[in-house]
Structure 1
């Protein structure tokens, strides 16, 4: 048997895995460092750029983890409502299935770049991740992290928290 996972090839035998669901999103950890995130999210107005931004934000090498995320447009999973004006703060309940994202109507390029990043941040809330900032700035250890600062990416601690929430 040959299995390909991103750039890792396993020949013969099997790779241990642990799978759980947070909301309707499936999270599978293969061995010690490979993680796959998959699920469906409904965008009533078909915002494929937001979907691509979410997949991009949650895919990559984050410390000891290699994460591959494939959220697809579909029903029966999370729902993204485009109900926030450009420049308004998007929202999502911690562990909830609904994301409230920004409209593109009348948005500047800077506002759209923020809105795409924020879609990934709000997806983090659906994974039961909390904001890691206060009015004073990001919490210690979250200075460049997706839940701590605008424009941040997940890090090893983020993925540790995601896997912890998979109990």
Structure 2
């Protein structure tokens, strides 16, 4: 008689970490899409308010103002979801680091802080994209990081903090 041999492989369980990276990537890409929408809405608002005598207080601008506020609200919500997803991923994950960099850029409270955080994000992108022994997953993230670099340029062009008021100097004493 023949010996019985199992032909079905035992079930392999995946750790939740495998899915966490996917959730982070999906949320991060949605964040970039929302950031594009918010940047475009902000540019339209700037364009609409420049030619009107009342500026931002003109009733004709209210539509653009509502759209811009709504777009930034979506960015804030998506950033919160992306940051929450980043906590479930390992410390070495490139998107986790970039999520925290973007959070710092978007939460900057002055022009100087904004410029420093954008420089730090660009430095992270430059340092990460030159890694010689990158895995296939990391190379996929590099493509996403290149998209982030374009979004940083868009954010930098908005002049969010260029109101003419100087940066408050930190009190070092």
TM-score band (shorter)? under 0.3
Q: Which is strand-richer, 1 or 2? A: 1
Return the structure number with greater relative CO, CA threshold 8 A, min gap 6.
2
> Structure 1 length as normaliser, TM-score?
0.24
Q: TM-score scaled to structure 2, two decimals? A: 0.24
